[in-house]
Structure 1
Amino acid sequence: MARTQLVGVIIGLAIVAALTVLRATDPPLLRLARDLTFDEYQRLAPRSFENVPVRVVDIDEASLKEFGQWPWPRDRVAALVDRLSEIGAAAIAFDILFSEPDRLSPRSVMRDVAGVDQALLKRLPDNDEILARSIGDRPVVLGFGLTNAGNYRPPVKAGFAFTGESPFDAPPRLTAATPLRPQLEARAAGLGHISLNPGSRSAVVRSVPLLLSDGEQLYPNLALEALRVAQGASTYIVAGAPDAPDTITLIKVGEFVVPVTAAGELWLYVSPDRAERYVSAGRVLAPGGVSAETRAAIEGGIVFVGTSAAGLQDIRTTALGHNVPGVSLHAQTVEQVLSGRFLSRPDWADGLEILAIAAAGSLLVLLTTFVSPAVALACGLLITALALVASWSAFLYAGLLFDPLAPILAGSITHFAATAYRFLVIDRERRVVRRAFGQYLSPSLLYRIEHTQDALRLGGDDRELTIMFVDVRNFTEISERLTPGEVVRFLNTLLDALSRHVIANEGTLDKFIGDSIMAFWNAPVDVADHPGKAVRAALAMRETLARLNESDAFGFGSDQKVAIGVGIHTGLACVGNMGAEMHFNYSAVGDAVNIAARIEAACKDVGFDILISETTADLGERCAVLEAGALALKGKSTRTRVYAVVGDEHMAASAEFSELQRIHEQLIGAMRSRSRPRRELVNAAKLKAPALCGGLSDFYRRIGRRTDHFAGEPLPFADEVGSAE
């Protein structure tokens, strides 16, 4: 069994290694599961909306209804810039692309009219020029988009300072950008990309790239650039890991430090969309001027201009599962920076999760194989609970993102595989053991034999055993008065009650032979104090039989009492599986077995129900025993001395038994020395015996008869019990 356990451990650890490698490669399905877990965390504890100076001027349905469909003429956009500047916005960032000429500009409209005077055409207003003049010398940030066509790179309006290794290969790649109108690009205080999840296949925006790179230059996103312009800062400080090239750890913009991923991305910790975040563009452009409420919302704040109108299709999905305008995510990026509420996933998180899979999986394999699947399951559930609590606590109190799902999933797979192997292979062997021994061994011995290698090997071993034979007295007479069915019921009742004490005292039931029981101790595994446990089993059988007779459990009436004889001997015997390869029994054979059987048969001559050999009496814990003579066995040159078991160690320590033992020893000495006062000693012993054990009365009565019979020629005490073959 140890070999199959070792194979099970190897297979289990191989599965753990495969799962560990799988997690190290981080396939898309695992990444998706991890992202969904973090989404659920945000849904359970979203970032609360804080009234920081960030607002979205929303070109909403009401604005379009009032001022016409999109796109608006850019002189109206210029009017919006003028009004926001007048109110006192710290920065105005457009989540709108101005890459094409304004087709609603008077100059553009008239250019397509045939025969228009070119001089007149030049005097007509150009809306792009109007917007360019409006944004000049104002804190306006324009957005640019990404494209795969061309090779245009927008100018960078800020400087970059670096600490640590070069970060140019860390951010997502900028291949090309959509060109802005030259006059707008030149006059803008800042330029930032408006892409929220470039290259991502997911519709959910979970992180925002604060920087893009073309390998030589970094390009900030719209939110980061708006924050810089609002502070009047001229330079970004980008920190890289000192010992990890192509890694960004944080970005400093003005007075704010922003922790980012290695690729320069900010994990979005979103709050539910709130009406307080938005100001309708129609309210800003109101002909009568802005209200005090609108002025208070915008003044001194960072303003993002975008649209929530469904027809303009700038709707994104957040980790909360909400569909929101894309411009609001730029605003939420700045809200996070201003409030200092960040999420981060440490660089060592992957390593920790991989280590957790390896450690937890290995532990579950060992527990499942060597302890039990139930204990492994309990430990697995505990590990699951700890992983969930630790991951959730890290998110809730520190904004740290640790994935509990991968270790839990890997542990579940490992436990299932190890349990399946144990059931199909290891426990199959144990089920064979249970079928072979379950009816004959105590649960403690059965557990020990299950974990013993080659427990069912055919063949035998020489071991010191304590063997017991139990036989029903006068069984022939009893069976003659009963029907066969009644005989079976009688035997089942009696043998079941008696054999339970063999099991309870860690003995092995060998077989039932008609009305007899054969049992032994110290096999198939070692049993401490096996002679003492065999004697205690015999004493328990005596008590059980007395209760059965008293309660008339056999239905014989008060006149018929069932009696048994028990013989016990300790000696060397061959014990093991005996028979054929496909059908065998676990049994013991040898001279010690024969001696035990003959001691049991001698109970009839001695007149006592429990006799043990001198070897058993010497090796067992001290019980109340009295010498009962010696048996002359066939083939033996010396007699086998036997002892009557009166009671347990408590009786052995009692004053009453000590007095009886003193008298008994005098009687033995008198019989061996052929001295005369045997009759007086027998009578004295008979007076003491009933108080200790009822069976002693017949024992001393028989000794008295032998004493009278051999009064003229006393024999040695060893001869007076008789002999048995």
Structure 2
Amino acid sequence: MTRAQLLGVLTGLALVAALTSLRASDPPLLKSAREATFDEYQSIAPRAFEDLPVRVVDIDEESLKTFGQWPWPRDRMALLVARLSEMGAAVIAFDVLFSEPDRLSPRSVLRDVKGIDPALVRRLPDNDEILAQTIAGKPVVLGFALSNDGSYRPPVKAGFAFTGESPFGAPPHLAAATPIRPGLEANAAGIGHISLNPEGSSGIVRSVPLLLSDGEQLYPNLALEALRVAQGASTYLLAGATDVADTITEIRVGDFVIPVTAAGELWLYVSPDRPERYVSAGRILAQDGIAQDVKAAIDGSIVFVGTSAAGLLDIRATALGHNVPGVSLHAQTVEQIISGRFLARPDWADGLEILSIAVAGSLLVLLTTFVSPAVALACGLLITALALVASWLAFRYGGLLFDPLAPIFFGSVTHFAATAYRFLVTDRERRVVRRAFGQYLSPSLLHRIEHTRNALRLGGDDRELTIMFVDVRNFTEISERLSPTEVVRFLNTLLDALSRHVVDNEGTLDKFIGDSIMAFWNAPVDVADHPKKAVRAALAMREALVHLNERDAFGFGAKRKVAIGIGIHSGVACVGNMGAETHFNYSAVGDAVNVAARIEAACKDVGFDILVSETTAQALGRFALLDAGALALKGKSTRSRVFAVLGDEKLAASAAFTELQPIHGQLVEALRLRSPDARRVLSTAKLQAAALAPGLGEFYRRISRRAEHFADAPAARGRAGE
């Protein structure tokens, strides 16, 4: 790991830690995005409407036109209760406040009129008393709202039992409530609060608090109380955490068990608003009788009385994006409990999401730093897809709410930051490497150099290399017949065709020296079997030159062929960046380089295009090689044995080479011993070589003139490595 990479990892992990802490603090913006995601899930797959025994008696615009503006006199509300009770309503729950005396009551109207006998006034009907008497003994639940004034607390008509720690600190706080008229309060079968989102910052109702608390007493909401009264239950059973106070996990009322949040809230899983849910209050109060379909809808149902009239300001927004009467949400709460279709956000959901941000972010930092931004992006997209799919499946089939956006958003921020850091800092050295080596190395070698520390430090190392020199034969003669521009064009065509085989075989192009190429293998990084790869590159060059000549790529005509000589040697050389700090070349120097250059020059004397040193030949194994004798190389005190490279393993296994090999061995032995049979064996070798490779004719013609090159050497081998 380079210093830049280490710094990048530490910086990236610090960013991941900061983002994880930000998610743990759960700022309002993240919470709003999460809730919007859950709203979208409900929009895609809302709770299906079921014809359950829950109805809304709606004080709608038509009812107000028929019976006058709101508020109605309470004797009319008493008539409404009486008729609903007669039709068999299981419960009549009012999403209506009865906190003030009825100003339309005859007693209230005449009380302040001067000259009226007070005794007569007391004998007049009082609408509040009429309503109180009507609800007595009937399953009527009245509602109250939260208030900022006074200290009124409504009576609680049911008992509470709980398991685990005390739950009184869990629900939203009730400071004060709107009062209920005394007679109504006393005669009601149940009392529940009508607040839908007392602590909600959004206008969308996503959850309903089933309980409120003043610290000493719990107060059920209207829907919960209606469900209790409908079942004739007397007690709520609350389950909480065994080791955590002020936490509620579920509420049992009668036969129903309701999973809730720690604060005792029910996540609303709403269904689209349907006309079947509503019955107009005007149809209940109709003087000409009640229709049979109305009676059937009310019979046995939990009935909520409320209003949808726009002027009465009880319109709420739902997760589906619809505006509905507030009373319908109370009805939907009961529908949801009866149907058992619940939504839940487990207490451990926050922890899971925070952990996923930390793990995914750390993974993206490491991938971006050590692999590539593209791989990190692919993994990020995979994580995004998995998060979305897992979150959706959890909602669709388990009713569980998990936030996919926070991990996706924070993962994207992490990937962008890590990628930017890598481009600006970590990859800066690699870009320098690419500029320095991009034209001279194969992509695989270039990649390895990019991940090697100190790849471009000035200086050299002693390494075992295989060095190649390539030179154009008769270049002076060729250049004399061409203009400078034509010479450049010729060299570009030739050198481009030859040099690409160096790169393709994981070699390093050192330099172009006029009409020559210098290349080496096993630097700047290790290359396995580098002698073989160098020889394979030479054979590919030979084949490429044949094709160039056949199609007259140089424009010299069919009779004028371009020839090259290639010398290869394996040995220790000093290789590295040589020059100045600001301008240097990656090159190799040393005796091994000189030997390779001398072997290339010897191709002219030997009469063959590819020669390798004995060191290289020993590393090749079963290549098709022929002993070319021990040459006196310039600058060397002893002769150096060289071998002509006919071809690769395939040629070495051919019948023609198998027949030529022993004959060539006999020739070398005869020349070494200066035997009179050398001429006869040479003739046989020439004849056999003609069928193998046309270029061997010149090779054998020159052997007879170089008999001394074999005289001081032991018996040679036909193929290196045998």
TM range (shorter): over 0.9
> How many aligned residue pairs are there?
714
Kept after mapping to 2: 8 A contact 1:12/1:414: yes
649-658 or 477-486: which moved more? 649-658
Instruction: Write out per-residue CA displacement over residues 59-86 of structure 1, whole angstroms, 9 at most, x where no aligned residue.
Output: 1111111110000111111111111111
For 2:536 and 2:675, the matched residues in 1 are separated by: 36
User: Which residue does the alignment assign to 2:718?
Assistant: none
Compared CA separation, residues 702 and 633, structure 1 to 2 (3 A) = closer
Kept after mapping to 2: 8 A contact 1:223/1:333: yes
Letter aligned with residue 492 of structure 1 = N
User: Which residue does the alignment assign to 1:118?
Assistant: 118
Letter aligned with residue 623 of structure 2 = C
Instruction: Write out per-residue CA displacement over residues 498-546 of structure 1, whole angstroms, 9 at most, x where no aligned residue.
Output: 1111111110000000000000000000011111111111111111111
- Give, in angstroms, the shift of residue 164 of structure 1: 1.1
- Give, in angstroms, the shift of residue 633 of structure 1: 3.5
Q: Where do 1:125-144 residues align within 5 Å? A: 125-144=125-144
User: Which residue does the alignment assign to 1:323?
Assistant: 323
User: Which residue does the alignment assign to 1:716?
Assistant: 711
CA RMSD, Structure 1 to Structure 2 (Å):
1.4
- Give, in angstroms, the shift of residue 487 of structure 1: 0.6
For 2:415 and 2:608, the matched residues in 1 are separated by: 58
Q: Secondary structure at the match of 2:704?
A: helix
For 1:338 and 1:74, the matched residues in 2 are separated by: 31
For 1:616 and 1:10, the matched residues in 2 are separated by: 47
Matched, 1:295 2:295: yes
Matched, 1:28 2:13: no
Letter aligned with residue 19 of structure 1 = L
Q: Where do 1:96-495 residues align within 5 Å? A: 96-495=96-495
For 2:331 and 2:446, the matched residues in 1 are separated by: 70
- Give, in angstroms, the shift of residue 621 of structure 1: 3.2
For 1:551 and 1:318, the matched residues in 2 are separated by: 79
For 1:612 and 1:697, the matched residues in 2 are separated by: 19
Q: Secondary structure at the match of 1:266?
A: strand
User: Which residue does the alignment assign to 1:723?
Assistant: none
**What percent of counterpart residues are identical?**
79
- Give, in angstroms, the shift of residue 706 of structure 1: 4.7
- List runs of 5+ in structure 2 lacking aligned partners: 715-722
660-669 or 226-235: which moved more? 660-669
- List runs of 5+ in structure 1 lacking aligned partners: 720-725
For 1:225 and 1:515, the matched residues in 2 are separated by: 99
For 1:703 and 1:240, the matched residues in 2 are separated by: 102
Matched, 1:527 2:562: no
For 2:635 and 2:79, the matched residues in 1 are separated by: 128
- Give, in angstroms, the shift of residue 556 of structure 1: 0.5
Q: Where do 1:505-520 residues align within 5 Å? A: 505-520=505-520
For 2:339 and 2:657, the matched residues in 1 are separated by: 90
User: Which residue does the alignment assign to 1:722?
Assistant: none
148-157 or 618-627: which moved more? 618-627
For 1:176 and 1:619, the matched residues in 2 are separated by: 96
Instruction: Write out per-residue CA displacement over residues 575-605 of structure 1, whole angstroms, 9 at most, x where no aligned residue.
Output: 0001111111100001110111111111111
Kept after mapping to 1: 8 A contact 2:511/2:519: yes
Q: Which runs of 4+ in 1 moved over 3 A?
A: 633-637
Instruction: Write out per-residue CA displacement over residues 1-31 of structure 1, whole angstroms, 9 at most, x where no aligned residue.
Output: 6222222221111111111111111111111
Letter aligned with residue 378 of structure 2 = A
Instruction: Write out per-residue CA displacement over residues 448-507 of structure 1, whole angstroms, 9 at most, x where no aligned residue.
Output: 111111111111000010000000000000000011111111101111111111111110
- Give, in angstroms, the shift of residue 33 of structure 1: 0.5
- Give, in angstroms, the shift of residue 659 of structure 1: 2.4
For 1:705 and 1:35, the matched residues in 2 are separated by: 95
Q: Secondary structure at the match of 1:119?
A: helix
For 2:494 and 2:622, the matched residues in 1 are separated by: 28
- Give, in angstroms, the shift of residue 213 of structure 1: 0.5
395-404 or 465-474: which moved more? 395-404
For 1:143 and 1:111, the matched residues in 2 are separated by: 28
Q: Secondary structure at the match of 2:467?
A: strand
Matched, 1:43 2:38: no
- Give, in angstroms, the shift of residue 631 of structure 1: 2.4
457-466 or 630-639: which moved more? 630-639
Q: Secondary structure at the match of 2:400?
A: coil
TM-score (norm 1): 0.97
User: Which residue does the alignment assign to 1:631?
Assistant: 631
Matched, 1:571 2:566: no
For 1:84 and 1:358, the matched residues in 2 are separated by: 58
Letter aligned with residue 431 of structure 1 = R
- Give, in angstroms, the shift of residue 389 of structure 1: 1.1
Letter aligned with residue 559 of structure 1 = K
TM-score (norm 2): 0.97
Letter aligned with residue 711 of structure 2 = P
For 2:631 and 2:706, the matched residues in 1 are separated by: 16
